[in-house]
Amino acid sequence: MLSNNNSSQQQTEFNLVQVNGTWIRNSQHCQQAEGRSSAAKIYENKSDHGLSWTVVSPIVFTYRVIQCKNILDARNDTLLWGHLGDQKLKDTISNSKPVKRFVVIDETVNQLYGSQVTQYFEARTVVHKILPLPTTEENKCMELVTKILEEVHSFGIDRRSEPIIAIGGGVCLDVVGLAASLYRRRTPYIRVPTTLLSYIDASVGAKTGVNFAGGKNKLGSYIPPVATFLDRSFIQTLPQRQISNGMAEMLKMALMKHRGLFELLEAEGGTLLQSKLQSCESSERSEQEDSATASTRIAIETMLEELAPNLWEDDLDRLVDFGHLISPELEMSVLPALLHGEAVNIDMSLMVYVAQQRGLLTAEEKARIIQCMLGLQLPVWHQDCTLALVQKALSERLKHSAGSLRMPLPTGLGSAEIFHDMSEDILCKAYCKWTDELSSSGNK
């Protein structure tokens, strides 16, 4: 019995048990029914003013991230069945119903791989629809989502057993994810990233979204895919700028939590760029992991470590937000001049100067990080990243961060902490040093 504003309140906790298809409330004070238990609970509150119920219902998502080779080889089952566990796979294959798949593919990717995707499904006798779309940052809007939904509805899919497949970069994966989350309230979907940026970043989390009202990803949802399939062979057709763009997110994870990955990028970043993160035949036959395989694996593992406990961002203290304090404002203000990873790297570059100004990094560590960025052919400064833009971006960040700035900053090479304040004096001094030392590096 609790007292609140001179009124009495009594709370009773109920567990939920399913008996013969019916859910029954079990209180701690009554005889317990036997059946299938739920993790959900109902709390009943009686007070002088009336009756209320509080529902606590945990939501559990299970999704798979699979690194594979030759995903478009018709002998490879991954694209069709990789999202299923062994028992579900047996049950599905034993079903005589024709297999159907709806595929959304980026227009550029379709020009490169569309015929292989078609040949894959034809060889597997899959009823399919392939929808090429211009999934660029400038087109990342609800109109694309509506287009996908109209086509999905026309094609017709079983929302439980026929996942939508997204093949493309981060924009494609985000847009398809949002469409899938809306269609019949949630339809499973699969991500097949074709850029390095989406391979490391957009593919393995739960976020979906589109741009709205001039803001990046202002509309969206948290719905993870049932699976993400990672095949590095897609990356070999990318221009080198797109490889650099993706390596910014790899460097982010290195700076935040993995010194070994930083040192690998520092020593071999240029080679990885030139090889487009492809493994040579001798490396593939070797039991020892090569640099391309190691760098992508570590980036994925560290990303999953940070995302898995906090998929819905209930905790706003997120190391993966490093490089994302100022970059959304900068990226949208100069669109399409900067790619996402380039804007993120400019943000990280400035924050490295902030970290050094705060005494978190030595001058040598700062210099090593900037040199590594340049070695990855990433921009470290931009003329449109003015002090006014930085201050505006941080102010916006503060508005949406529950009263605290929540700024991830490196505290060494491969370690970081979240800081909840920013001195205007430190920011201005760091910004001036950043501009004085790096403005000569030019814009990307």
Whether residue 253 contacts residue 303, with contact meaning beta carbons closer than 8 Å, is answered with yes
Q: Which residues touch 282 (CB under 8 Å, ≥6 apart)?
A: none
For 201, the token pair is: 């970043």
- Among 108, 154, 99, CA closest to 134: 108
Alpha carbon 8 to its chain centroid, in Å, reads 47
The three-class DSSP label of residue 11 is strand
Residue 179: other Cβ atoms inside 10 A: 26
**How do beta strands 189-193 and 164-168 pair?**
parallel
How far, in Å, are 92, 351, 356 from residue 409 at the CA level? 47, 7, 10
Q: What whole-number distance in Å separates Cα of residue 29 and Cα of residue 39?
A: 18
List 207, 216, 252, 257, catalytic entry: 207
46 flagged as catalytic: no
Residue 115, amino acid: S
> Strands, DSSP E only, in 69-149?
100-106, 127-133
The CA-based angle 26-32-33, given to 5 degrees, is 85
Q: What whole-number distance in Å separates Cα of residue 215 and Cα of residue 332?
A: 7
Q: What whole-number distance in Å separates Cα of residue 443 and Cα of residue 202?
A: 25
How far, in Å, are 201, 255, 260, 308, 391 from residue 302 at the CA level? 11, 11, 12, 10, 30
Residue 422, amino acid: M
* DSSP state letters, 155-210: H---TTTS-EEEEESHHHHHHHHHHHHHGGG---EEEEE-SHHIIIIITSSSEEEE
User: What are the beta bridge partners of residue 428?
Assistant: none
- Among 148, 170, 164, CA closest to 216: 170
Q: What whole-number distance in Å separates Cα of residue 133 and Cα of residue 370?
A: 37
Residue 244 has, within 13 A of its CA and on its CB side, a CA count of 20
Q: What whole-number distance in Å separates Cα of residue 115 and Cα of residue 120?
A: 9
Residue positions annotated with a catalytic role: 207
